[in-house]
Structure 1
Amino acid sequence: MLNKIIYFSIKNKLIVGLMTLALIGWGIYNLTKLPIDAVPDITNNQVQVITVSPSLGAQEVERLISFPVELSVASVPNILEIRSFSRFGLSLVTVVFTEETDIYWARQQITEKLKEAEEQIPPGVGSPFLAPVSTGLGEIYQYELHPTKGFENKYSATELRSIQDWLVRRQLLGTPGIAEVSSFGGNLKQYEVALDPAKLRAMNITITEVFEALENNNANAGGAYIEKDPNAYFIRTEGLVKSTTDIGQIVVKNMTTGLPILIRDIADVRMGSAIRYGAMVKDDAGEVAGGIVMMLKGENSSKVIKAVKEKIAEIQKTLPEGVKIEPFLDRTKLVNRAISTVEKNLAEGALIVVFVLVLLLGNLRAGLLVASVIPLAMLFAISLMNVFGVSGNLMSLGALDFGLIVDGAVIIVESVIHRIQLSNYHSSGIKRLSPQEMDEEVYDSASKMMGFASFGQIIILIVYLPILALVGIEGKMFKPMAQTVAFAILGAFLLSLTYVPMMASLFLSRRTQHKENISDRIMNAINRAYQPLINFALRMKLMVLAVAVGLFALSLFLFSRMGGEFIPSLDEGDFAIETRVLTGSSLNETITVVQKASGLLKQKFPEIEKVVTKIGSAEVPTEPNPVELGDMIVVLKDQSEWTSAHNREELANKISATLQKNLPQASFGVQQPIQMRFNELMTGARQDVVVKIYGEDLDTLAVYAEKLGRLIQPVAGAQDLYIEKMTGLPQIMVAYNRANLARYGLSIQEVNRTITAAFAGEGAGQVYEGEKRFDLVVRLNQQNRRDITDVQNLFVSNAAGFQIPLEQLATVQMKDGPNQIQRDGAKRRITVGFNVRNRDVQSIVDEIQGKVGNSLQLPVGYAITYGGQFQNLIEAKNRLSVAVPLALLLIFALLFFAFKSIKQSILIFTAIPLSAIGGIFALLIREMPFSISAGVGFIALFGVAVLNGIVMIGYFNQLKAGGLTNVEEIIKQGTAARLRPIIMTATVASLGFLPMALSSSAGAEVQKPLATVVIGGLISATLLTLVVLPVIYYFSENGFKANKPLKKLVVVLVLFFPLTVSAQQPQPKCLADVLQLARENNNEIRKYKLAVDLSSGLKKTAVDLPKTNINYSQGKLNSPLLDNRFGIIQNFSSPAVWKSQGKLLAEQKSLSQQQLVFQEHELEYQIKQVYAQLAYFHELNGLLHRQDSIFKVLARAADVKFRTGESGLLEKTTAETQRLEIADRIRQNEVAISTALNNLNSLVQAPQPLNFIPEKL
């Protein structure tokens, strides 16, 4: 089939050329449509349920909202995990689904279950709603609105927020691909009725009456219409309030004198703002407003960002003068940097590969022809990426090795060149081939070498299959890489069948004369250095083998001592600094601290362009941050402009040290924006590593979290330690006195509503300003909402009209309460988290686990787990422990199918441990810990490493089949002939990864371990394959024969360590020996012998007497005096019973002896039968081998006669077929011998397996 395609391609060059042009057009079109992003989206499949309840504390939120929501959604299928976060005023429940679950189906199921939850949530507490359909990579564009120079005093934080909500956000929401635009910062405008409690009390007006007045005087209505010919007049009322003046003129009630009491008489009606749970600060200049653009899950980020930017430019034109939109987090920056790294690495890799090809092929045309496969295969891969929905990113495109892609084309083109050069055309006087002759030469070369080329490409494809089986985060990271590599190799395979033969026929030189070129000189130099090395290896075979085994053992030892991390963190180009002040701090205090921190950073570090801080929660609170937490987004300049540090980690350490030194009242954690968001979504915490303690009592959890924090604090590499504050939130507690409530005729609900309305404020309607609408809120004025005395002095009206101060109805006191409560799987937990810098995750957690095991004893019912990157690392290692053996098994299976020999498959398979040596040492030299990137690199390496072994052993087999019998001569000729392709394959494959391994551009961190492993492994695999593999091949052909020095060494070792050498079981020489071994070792025989011994022993017990009982008692038994009594009791059976027992035991002994004899005869029969089969098969084996030798001679003779023209193809084919039939019968007979020997071993059951040739029968 392949040959037919090659033939068609050579004969129909125009068609293949047109198909190539079609491929180019298709590829360019798909290139313009390819989704582009920085990295794959690794967020798990999750739905977030948000409930806002501004007046409830953490415990009430957990009890009344979070728990009912968790309980309702728990029955939805395909759920992996349920997490909840409850804090003052907010509940966030995260439901994680399996990756196969459709997100829209999941949201539909959750929505239906929320209806059940709403029935359990008390009225007025809050209504659950779903977060936008977005992911950790969904926050693609974050911006802030600020007044330009000269307009600073014109626009307040309230006006900026209104512009954001009603101008910017509304227009952005119409952009395709946008899931939500969440407003942040500023003051949310409200119409506020600020009540004066003294006036309310003086006029005997309740807050409820104020609500009723506002609700009853703010509405429009209609009265249908009146017909008055010829018109109909529609009736419409205008009762909506339009200004603060309208609100102030609303009548609350009339006094007994008939005078109305207006709203303005008891309250200050003004423009106010909602109670804030968040703010946005730019640098140290003050507050601004802004928004977070959240992309719909699965959309093309580059396309959506482009649309957002275009829309922002349009919106900017519609904004009031002096207001500017400025982005502070733009994904385009990261995407451009990452794609720039990919383009640079691919371009450099392609150039290196082309240069090496031209150099080693010694032919410019051949090098360019092979190089042309690179862009064509890339276009094919990009087209399939679009078809299968794989985005172009750092992982999918960055891990392509053009050396692997062009391997098939190299084999074919090299074969064509050497066939023309080594042919007898030139000696026949033909200096230039005709087009027809060139077509024939290309066809002959390509058809013969396509098998080798396709097999190598299949090996690479197969080895990537286990990567496609990875799941979880590592699956999302590395599946795109495996898919893209597979697409590119598939494209290169098709091109090798069609494009390469066609172009080789047209493009390669048809001259038959060969002149020595630079390639020949390079290879001659390499060969001159290699020949003494291989000669030395063949002289010192055991030493070479020992060195290889020693290096492998050393590498395994060093690998076991190597640290581990999940995946190297991507350099995003910006920092996100988590800033925390004391629990219970006010929003203004947090704003003050972050302004100081921002000013300090701008002053100390010229690398910083600007700092924008998001404090607390956004309007859509997908990040449930309290007001004491701020995320400082530090936008950095290009690294070429840095002066304070040379790399990201150094700058992060300096920034952290500066902030901690100058602002000790706050804690700071330096991370990166996307990394922090991923951590939070994946594990519920922001730090790299999270230690979770599970239990029920909040105070106990807090105590043990503090102890754990003290253990982690001194651990090197554990930075930015964070201990979750579950308790310690200052609260004004109102504990009701039920007796007093009953005395005054008040219910708790009435008092609760009064407190909520007075301090939190409660909506009484809305005020419209054109299309804009703002809440109308009633609350006490600011002067009466300052401290605990204002709460105590709040008056509550009862049904009789009496006003009672709250302090008479309840005890009002200051008390610390729960700050936030987190639950995993319906269990409360507290977290202790830290970031990792200047050390690997594995070693840090190992050290912490050792300390915890020795110093931290948790109470019963409490447990500790380790999450974050460490959990990801462990899960990924477990999956790699399946993927790597699977990859090795697939490689071995392919080798066996190709060579039909387990021995030769094992020979080639030795390239894998040889390559692992270089991969491990390369990681150690570059001081890189083991990571999942490195693990995937090892999988890719193992597939490439066996290619050289295939080339070498395959050629050894050709030489042997050609009649060469001397093994050393086979090795010398084979290594000399295959040196060029082995060097070329390894060089182009390793150098293709070189730019990736050395790159310091954005995103190179993830690729470096993979490239390092492949390069280091290919270096060691190539060097050791050229030296060690021939030695192993020698032993496989000639057997292991120790020389005299080795024998002396063994004798010395045996004499020096006599106790360590166990005697070997002698192998049997005849059937009698086998039978004797079976009688001694067969478990069935041993069982019956024990039964005979047991029955013999029992016979002696026939007349055994029962145990004698001796007793003693003391006391007033027979008289008032103290008595002592001794007694001896002995039972005797009847003599008849003893006789019967003896007879029974004698019969049992006889039965056991007869069973033993029967079993011995049965075993002897089975052994004789198997022994006869084994002897027969061995006799047959000798006859078959003699026949094989005869048919080999006949086949060689037939081949010689065919080549000299003395006989036809039929005779040659017949001889070869007969030889192959005999070889097949030999293999079948060897399997039969192995089966018979296994059967014999199962019968004999000797301590060591039998392996002998039976005597002739």
Structure 2
Amino acid sequence: MIEAIIRLSLRYRLLVVLGIGAVALFAAAALPAAHYGVFPEFAPPTVQIQTNAAGLDPREIEHAVTDRLEQGLSGLPGIAAIRSESSTGLSVINLVFHGGTDVAADRASVAGRLTSLTASLPPRAVPVIMPRQSATGTAVVIGLDAPAMPLMRLSAITETTIRPALLAVPGVANVVVFGLALPRLEIQLNRRALLASGFGLNQVAAAAHDASALLGGGFIDTGNQQLLLDAHGQTRSAAALAQSLLGEHAGLPVTLGDVAQITTAPPPRFGAALIHGKPGLLLIVSSLAGADTLHVAHGAEQALAAISPALRRQGIDIDAHALAPSGFVREALSDLGRVLLIGAVLILVVLLLALRDWRIALISFVSIPVALLVATLVLRALGITMNTMALAGLAIALGEIIDDAVVDIENINRRLIENRARATPLPVLRVIRDASVEVRGAIIFATLCVAVMFTPVLLLGGVAGRLFAPLGIAYLAAIIASLFVALTLTPALAGLLLARRTGGVAHVPMQSARSAYGRLLDVIARRAGLLALFAIVFVIGMGASLPLVRTQFLPQFREQDMIAHYLAAPGTSIKTMLTIGRHVAAVLGRMPEVADVVEHVGRATLGNGHPDVNKAEVDITLSRSGNAHNATAERKILAAIDTVPGVRWWANSFLTERIHETLSGFTAPLVISVYGDTLAAISADAGRILHRIRPIKGVIVAAVAAPPNTPELSITPNRAAMLRYGVTARALLTAIHMGYAGDRVGQVYQGSLIEPIVITLRQARRADPDALRSLPIEAIDHRIVPLGLVAHIRQTAAPSLILHNAGRTEQVITVHTRPGDGDAVLAAIKRRIAALHLTGNAYVTYGGSAVAGGAARRSLVTHAGIALVVIAALLALALKSARGVALMALGLPFALAGGIAAAWLFLGGTISLGAMVGLVTLFGLSLRNGLLLLIHYARLVQTDGLAWSAATARRGAMDRLPAILITATVTAIGLLPLALANGAPGDEIEGPMAIIILGGLFTATMLTLLLLPRLASRYLRIGPSLNDGLDPPRT
């Protein structure tokens, strides 16, 4: 079959070249329109439900909202996990589904179940299904600052103009606004005036509701004309609301303004934002799952550009690049394109110098980009975006692609040289066909073995599997595309460019290299034992150092943005957090490493984040000058801002943080979950664990995610006093809710903006804890009774956040570690917790990237072992020689040893999961060269009639030297720019992979050239018959 394909390609060579050229041009033209993203969709299908219930504390949210929804949703098909968080006024439930489910069907089933569950929730607590975001979530962060404009006015413009414009951009999932202070009409009760008027709270609420009524008047039909009745009766301003009638007292009308101060004010804050240290708004634009990150970011920029002239006329400053993950994609693609261009030029130069013939060099060179372009078409057909992992798969496939390109044409050229020396030369096309068939069978078999070796990457589970699946698919697509090109385009181009020549061009440099190589083999024959001893010591030494290599799930991404977090004591106010934030902004503003700073505290309405107000995030854009891409800059920044006593700091890159959050729900690389009998018990255990693990070397910050000691004022009704004064429990709770959370009694429409009308206390009284005792409560006889007479009020500590996992209450400890220390820290933590006696039935589990990385590495090693067994069986079937299989197996430890040595020399002894994938690819490179050499030995004996001896082994190695040297050199030259760019944005995965591959390529090539011929001549047995072993794979 292979021979038939090559024969057809030669016969219709012009048609083949034009056809494949057209496909390559189509693929190249489609690249600008391809979907580009930072990462593949590595998050499992997840549906998030948020329920706002203003005024309820975390325990009430847990019992009245979260528990009910969890119980009702737990039976849905396909659910893999249920996690929830109950905080003040907010319940957030994440339903994680098994991979491969229909996301639209999942969301529909959740929506259907919520319809029946809503009725059992507290009034006005309506569950909302949040938009499905991409795994990386944020597309762009925008800062808004208007020094001369009130924050309420800026919030109104944002809500009515800016946010709708951004939501209209295709691919945008949500626009979350931190610091939003939308205006509301507040009826701030005057206790004394209300007492004097004789009216109660219920009457005030009814009057406000009536004043904001909006009813249609209908129309009058006169017979000849229809007249619409437009009644402008709704109250739309604070002044009009103040004049609304409450009732009559002592024969005089009483208005709402007589018993309360009516004003426009923002609601109580649970979040805020600082833009360059000044109060403002922070807009986080998130992209839909599957949307193109670059397109979404570009669309958001265009939407802002369209409205920015009008905004600037109003004094609004726009920071459109406060944090832009899309910038990392652009920079990564630009850097990768530049590196690949440099590599392409170097490859072409090396091919020209090595082959000394532009036609042969052109054939080899053209095959490389054509194979890559065909692979991109395959990826596009499979729906895989051009993300970092897919590009990494294409990059590490360069070795096999170059090997395919060089081996075929080198063998063709060598056979053409031999054909020229014949007394009666054969037809050139026949020589080309036979030369292609001669090596293609072995190459196909080697490609099959490489594909088997790479299957462990495709078998990775969880987040690691979803991250690396595009890499594996891209790699396999590239080597299969390369094989297709080698079977069709290479023979066709050889037929077109070489058909009119009577022979090939001798490799002048290669002839000199062959002579030198022959002399070297003679020396090795006399010193083979010494060389073997050195090789064994090297392999054993590198193997012994393997346990000392530090591992991490993924490398630190060199983004232009850095995210710093700070955590203050539980109960710290927003005002204090903003004071810290302004101090931080001032410090960072003086640093040359920093270009931009925006911050947000607490949470945003209907945002995906829901931290307490004692948690804040600082988004830092690094300057492009100096060492902004160096970890030194990050350490310098953290050292500069970590100056506030009692505040803990840690930092991540944006992409690293998103991966941590997907793995465990938290932004830390290591998460310890504590389960037990009660929340109090597991919180106490968590505190003891925290005390034990903080001193561990490598731990930067460790904290309890849901601290149990947040200060609160506990209000306990005095039932006897309530009976004495005639106060009902509902009246007591209504008064507290109305006074502090605010009771919404109506709403007015200001254009497209809805302003709620709420009854509450004056701001000064709401900010005074002592004023709580005098809170007016309406008794059944309409008397006003102070809260202090019917309830006990005391300050206590309680949890501000309650976590559930699979319906179980959990306490979580987040641990931030230094890069590369995750495994060592995890082991130390396990030892210390094992020595700790936990209370009752308490137990702990571990999660995060440190755990996921270990599981992924174990999976990779286990499946790689199985793959090696399969490959050994395939080699045994093909070679029919146990000794031949053993010689092939020698390539693995040599390649791995070279990769480990490269990790120590150039990566500081730290490798990520991506670099381990590079180790897997090494065996494929070493296998191809060794297999082709052994197959060539078999042809020399079984086809050319030579006797198997040391001289035959020497000749076969010298025959294969040009292909091996050119392949190794060109592969190294192609990967060298990636290796040299290690640490540049976008090269964090490809760079270490290239370094590992280069190290293994060097040692595997040395094995093939120096040791394998000697070992083969001594231990291999090749008979003259095809049945005597080492049967060349047939086509």
TM-score (norm 2): 0.94
Displacement of 1:252: 0.9
Query: Contact 1:649/1:837 (CA < 8 Å) preserved in 2?
Result: no
Matched, 1:659 2:641: yes
Query: Contact 1:353/1:992 (CA < 8 Å) preserved in 2?
Result: yes
Query: Contact 2:354/2:507 (CA < 8 Å) preserved in 1?
Result: no
What are the equivalent positions in structure 2 for 1:1023-1062 lying under 5 Å apart?
Answer: 1023-1034=1006-1017, 1036-1037=1019-1020
Displacement of 1:923: 1.7
Query: Contact 1:35/1:392 (CA < 8 Å) preserved in 2?
Result: yes
3-state SS of the aligned residue for 1:498? Answer: helix
Question: Whole-Å Cα distance in 2 between the matches of residues 930 and 17 of structure 1?
Answer: 42
**What's the CA shift string for 1:1138-1195, capped at 9, x where partnerless?**
xxxxxxxxxxxxxxxxxxxxxxxxxxxxxxxxxxxxxxxxxxxxxxxxxxx9xx9xxx
Question: Whole-Å Cα distance in 2 between the matches of residues 546 and 54 of structure 1?
Answer: 75
3-state SS of the aligned residue for 1:993? Answer: helix
Question: Whole-Å Cα distance in 2 between the matches of residues 499 and 788 of structure 1?
Answer: 82
AA of the residue aligned to 1:133: R
Task: Decide whether aligned partners of structure 1 residues 684 and 267 sit closer, same or farther in structure 2, where only a CA change above 3 A counts.
Answer: same
962-971 or 689-698, which moves further after superposition? Answer: 962-971
3-state SS of the aligned residue for 2:226? Answer: strand
Partner of 2:36: 36
Matched, 1:778 2:774: no
Query: Contact 1:404/1:988 (CA < 8 Å) preserved in 2?
Result: no
Query: Contact 1:717/1:844 (CA < 8 Å) preserved in 2?
Result: yes
Partner of 1:596: 583
Matched, 1:326 2:325: no
Displacement of 1:876: 0.7
Displacement of 1:458: 3.1
Match of 2:712 among 709, 717, 731: 731
Partner of 1:1174: none
Question: Whole-Å Cα distance in 2 between the matches of residues 273 and 996 of structure 1?
Answer: 53
**What's the CA shift string for 1:631-689, capped at 9, x where partnerless?**
10011111xx12xx5753222222222222x3124221111233223323431222122
3-state SS of the aligned residue for 1:528? Answer: helix
Partner of 2:282: 290
AA of the residue aligned to 1:168: I
Query: Contact 2:638/2:650 (CA < 8 Å) preserved in 1?
Result: yes
Displacement of 1:725: 4.7
Matched, 1:245 2:239: yes
Residues matched between the structures, number:
1022
Question: Whole-Å Cα distance in 2 between the matches of residues 672 and 259 of structure 1?
Answer: 66
Matched, 1:714 2:695: yes
AA of the residue aligned to 2:456: P
Question: Whole-Å Cα distance in 2 between the matches of residues 196 and 531 of structure 1?
Answer: 106
Task: Decide whether aligned partners of structure 1 residues 838 and 290 sit closer, same or farther in structure 2, where only a CA change above 3 A counts.
Answer: closer
What are the equivalent positions in structure 2 for 1:303-342 lying under 5 Å apart?
Answer: 303-319=295-311, 320-327=313-320, 328-342=322-336
Question: Whole-Å Cα distance in 2 between the matches of residues 184 and 676 of structure 1?
Answer: 19
Query: Contact 1:693/1:829 (CA < 8 Å) preserved in 2?
Result: yes
Question: Whole-Å Cα distance in 1 between the matches of residues 916 and 174 of structure 2?
Answer: 38
Query: Contact 2:282/2:600 (CA < 8 Å) preserved in 1?
Result: no
AA of the residue aligned to 2:385: S
872-881 or 889-898, which moves further after superposition? Answer: 889-898
Match of 1:360 among 322, 337, 354: 354
Higher RCO, 1 vs 2 (CA within 8 Å, ≥6 residues apart): 2
Question: Whole-Å Cα distance in 2 between the matches of residues 513 and 565 of structure 1?
Answer: 50
Question: Whole-Å Cα distance in 2 between the matches of residues 659 and 305 of structure 1?
Answer: 30
Matched, 1:877 2:860: no
Partner of 2:812: 831
Matched, 1:575 2:562: yes
Task: Decide whether aligned partners of structure 1 residues 712 and 57 sit closer, same or farther in structure 2, where only a CA change above 3 A counts.
Answer: same
**What's the CA shift string for 1:1-28, capped at 9, x where partnerless?**
2222222222223322330332133213
Partner of 2:132: 133
Cα RMSD (Å): 2.5
Displacement of 1:226: 3.2
Query: Contact 2:411/2:435 (CA < 8 Å) preserved in 1?
Result: yes
**What's the CA shift string for 1:344-400, capped at 9, x where partnerless?**
332233233333333333333211221111221122112122111111122211342
Matched, 1:911 2:891: yes
Question: Whole-Å Cα distance in 1 between the matches of residues 275 and 518 of structure 2?
Answer: 67
Partner of 1:528: 519
What are the equivalent positions in structure 2 for 1:1177-1188 lying under 5 Å apart?
Answer: none
Partner of 1:754: 735
Partner of 1:1004: 987
Question: Whole-Å Cα distance in 2 between the matches of residues 919 and 221 of structure 1?
Answer: 77
Partner of 1:553: 540
Task: Decide whether aligned partners of structure 1 residues 515 and 827 sit closer, same or farther in structure 2, where only a CA change above 3 A counts.
Answer: closer
Task: Decide whether aligned partners of structure 1 residues 881 and 419 sit closer, same or farther in structure 2, where only a CA change above 3 A counts.
Answer: closer
Question: Whole-Å Cα distance in 2 between the matches of residues 764 and 630 of structure 1?
Answer: 33
State the percentage of identical aligned residues. Answer: 25
Question: Whole-Å Cα distance in 2 between the matches of residues 722 and 573 of structure 1?
Answer: 27
AA of the residue aligned to 1:883: H
Question: Whole-Å Cα distance in 2 between the matches of residues 511 and 965 of structure 1?
Answer: 31
Displacement of 1:495: 1.9
Query: Contact 2:14/2:496 (CA < 8 Å) preserved in 1?
Result: no
Question: Whole-Å Cα distance in 2 between the matches of residues 170 and 1037 of structure 1?
Answer: 75
Displacement of 1:528: 3.2
Partner of 1:347: 341
3-state SS of the aligned residue for 2:737? Answer: helix
Question: Whole-Å Cα distance in 1 between the matches of residues 392 and 103 of structure 2?
Answer: 29
**What's the CA shift string for 1:513-534, capped at 9, x where partnerless?**
8566233224433443343124
Partner of 1:164: 158
AA of the residue aligned to 2:490: V
AA of the residue aligned to 1:300: D
Partner of 1:975: 957
Displacement of 1:615: 1.0
Question: Whole-Å Cα distance in 2 between the matches of residues 1223 and 332 of structure 1?
Answer: 57
What are the equivalent positions in structure 2 for 1:81-160 lying under 5 Å apart?
Answer: 81-124=81-124, 126-147=125-146, 152-153=147-148, 155-160=149-154
AA of the residue aligned to 2:917: V
3-state SS of the aligned residue for 2:739? Answer: helix
3-state SS of the aligned residue for 2:595? Answer: strand
Question: Whole-Å Cα distance in 2 between the matches of residues 940 and 736 of structure 1?
Answer: 70
Query: Contact 2:324/2:561 (CA < 8 Å) preserved in 1?
Result: no
Task: Decide whether aligned partners of structure 1 residues 880 and 513 sit closer, same or farther in structure 2, where only a CA change above 3 A counts.
Answer: closer
What are the equivalent positions in structure 2 for 1:37-52 lying under 5 Å apart?
Answer: 37-52=37-52
**What's the CA shift string for 1:170-201, capped at 9, x where partnerless?**
12222211111122214221111111112111
Displacement of 1:1223: 9.2
3-state SS of the aligned residue for 2:555? Answer: coil
Partner of 2:799: 818
3-state SS of the aligned residue for 1:861? Answer: coil
Question: Whole-Å Cα distance in 2 between the matches of residues 501 and 315 of structure 1?
Answer: 58
AA of the residue aligned to 2:283: G
3-state SS of the aligned residue for 1:940? Answer: helix
Displacement of 1:618: 1.3
Question: Whole-Å Cα distance in 2 between the matches of residues 801 and 535 of structure 1?
Answer: 112
Match of 1:496 among 486, 505, 521: 486
Structure 1 runs (4+) deviating above 6 angstroms are none
Question: Whole-Å Cα distance in 1 between the matches of residues 875 and 554 of structure 2?
Answer: 32
Partner of 1:984: 966
AA of the residue aligned to 1:295: S
Displacement of 1:752: 0.5
Partner of 1:271: 264
Larger radius of gyration: 1
Matched, 1:858 2:838: yes
What are the equivalent positions in structure 2 for 1:807-1206 lying under 5 Å apart?
Answer: 807-837=788-818, 839-854=820-835, 856-926=836-906, 927-961=908-942, 962-965=944-947, 967-999=949-981, 1000-1034=983-1017, 1036-1037=1019-1020
Match of 1:455 among 439, 445, 450: 445
Question: Whole-Å Cα distance in 2 between the matches of residues 309 and 43 of structure 1?
Answer: 26
3-state SS of the aligned residue for 1:141? Answer: strand
Question: Whole-Å Cα distance in 1 between the matches of residues 333 and 392 of structure 2?
Answer: 9
Partner of 1:486: 476
Task: Decide whether aligned partners of structure 1 residues 1028 and 440 sit closer, same or farther in structure 2, where only a CA change above 3 A counts.
Answer: closer
**What's the CA shift string for 1:114-138, capped at 9, x where partnerless?**
23432432334x2221121103412
Displacement of 1:511: 5.1
Partner of 2:1033: none
AA of the residue aligned to 1:260: P
